[in-house]
Amino acid sequence: MISPYAKSNFVGHSLTGQTSILRFIEDNWLDGQRIPGSFDSLAGNLNTMFNFTSPDKSKYQLDPSTGEVK
């Protein structure tokens, strides 16, 4: 995950997928409302991967060919 709010050097152990993004949006902006039977109700939670209290303000430039930090 790439975000100024992503925890640095953190490995999450919850099972996540594309529907985890929908669950994250529903939990944070729709008061957790879900459509009964939808896959996002089974999705893993992304909140453990974030640190919203102290975002990383560092700027990184990645090498376009390798993806490594320059």
Instruction: Read off the pLDDT of residues 28-66 as tens digits, 9 standing for 90 and up.
Output: 888 888 877 788 888 888 888 999 998 888 887 888 899
* Residue from 40, 47, 1, 33 nearest 18 by CA: 40
Q: For residues 2 and 46, which has the higher predicted lDDT (pLDDT)?
A: 46
Yes or no: say if 7 and 15 are a contact pair by the CB < 8 Å rule: no
Cβ-based neighbours of 49, under 8 Å, separated by 6 or more? 1, 6, 7, 10, 12
Instruction: Read off the pLDDT of residues 9-20 as tens digits, 9 standing for 90 and up.
Output: 888 888 888 889
pLDDT reported for residue 70: 78
User: What is this structure's pTM?
Assistant: 0.66
Instruction: Read off the pLDDT of residues 33-43 as tens digits, 9 standing for 90 and up.
Output: 887 778 888 88
